[in-house]
Amino acid sequence: MPLEGGIVPLSELAHLGLWNRPSRAILCSYQATPPMRKIETLMNAAILEGRNFTSGNTTVMHEDGVANVFLHGNKIAEVGDNFVTLFDGGWQSSTTKSRLNAILQRHAIKGECVFQKNFKWFVHKFVGQAGSSPVFVEKDFTNGMILA
């Protein structure tokens, strides 16, 4: 049975043949996500509008139809028309995670997010549909991971 926001718990994926690991709760539903910071709203607007943007520690630079997002001068994301590529910029900080989740909330499939468990980063990644419910898996975060 899908949770609020249409997220399917991992325990349900096993009987669908889509997941064979023990179930673990993933709390990435956007209904549970705190509101975006003002800088993240402005960052997302710049990405959508195709314009360069700098405010504080966050920069968006457009090149060849791709928005490159930097935090403290380190690349944390590339956003194109049909993809988002994730990087940690060398720092798996709460600010980096917040910026990435703001980007995913606006530019990826609803429910995809970066989260931390036991000091390790993971991605809640969409892998398909089970009837009318989206199916997600938990993957280790890796630099250059592409979500489409």
Query: What is the share, in percent, of the chain residues with pLDDT greater than 90?
Result: 69
Kindly write down the DSSP assignment for every residue of 61-99, as one continuous string: EEETTEEEEEETTEEEEEE-SS-EEE--TT---HHHHHH
Tokens of 130: 């089970």
Q: Which residues pair with 63 in a beta bridge?
A: 66
**Residue found by looking up tokens 């179930």 in the block:** 23
Between strands 66-71 and 58-63, the pairing is antiparallel
User: What tens digit of pLDDT does each residue of 110-148 get?
Assistant: 999 999 999 999 999 999 989 999 999 999 999 999 997
- The residues spanned by each domain of the chain are 4-147
User: What tens digit of pLDDT does each residue of 68-96 get?
Assistant: 999 999 999 999 999 999 999 999 999 99
Supply angle C-alpha 91, 101, 109, rounded to 5: 135
Of the candidates 106, 147, 101, the one whose C-alpha atom is nearest the C-alpha of residue 121 is: 101
Is 36 within 8 Å of 23 (Cβ atoms)? no
